[in-house]
Amino acid sequence: MSDATPDRESREHPTDSLFFALCPDDAAALRIGELAARLRAEHKLKARVIPADRLHVTLHYLGAFAGVPADLVKRARTAASQIALPPVEVTLDRIESFSGRRARRPLVLSGDVTPSLDELERTLGADLDAAGIPVKRHPRFTPHVTLLYDERRIARQAVAPVTWSAREFALVRSLLGQSHYEVLARWPLAS
């Protein structure tokens, strides 16, 4: 891990990003993968489906960095270790292409925020704020799993719900441009 300072990081090419996430259990990941493959075929999309080991709902994005800032990871782990909440119910029941500046837009499986998911997202955000970690927040949290990135845009439509009970959350390192994730730490969500 790098001990690069924020000023130095901003001048260097980002190699890693960090985020907190909920990952679907095996059954939900299988259903999500099958849905993505079906949508790809039905809509004649060219992009590859995101592999099951990279499917996740982002709780908080911490940023992109040149290397992994050890101090930030330490503070993030400390903040996350304070979470004492029960398992989180996740229900995703619609697909749509998110807009963006890129030519390839994310096709996502999304849903409404459940009370338990809302509590986890807000509590973790407050703990990160208290630890002095600036998080990249959207004005409205929309739980979603990215299925693939494609040039074609798909309008919002309902799909059969994919539901799971998340029993842990994780701090994840993404190696930028390598399509590889590394779980740095996990925390249980227990009753």
What are the pLDDT digits (tens) for 134-156? 886 777 899 999 999 999 889 99
pLDDT in tens, 51-104: 999 999 999 999 999 999 999 999 999 999 999 999 999 999 999 998 866 667
Burial class (CB in 10 A: 0-12, 13-18, 19+), 179: exposed
Q: Residue 4 has what pLDDT?
A: 45
- Look up the pTM and report it: 0.89
Q: Which pLDDT does position 99 carry in this prediction?
A: 81
Query: CATH 1.10.10.10: does it fit domain 6-188?
Result: no
Provide the residue ranges of all domains of the chain, joining segments of one domain with +: 6-188
Look at residue 3 in the predicted model and tell me its pLDDT: 45
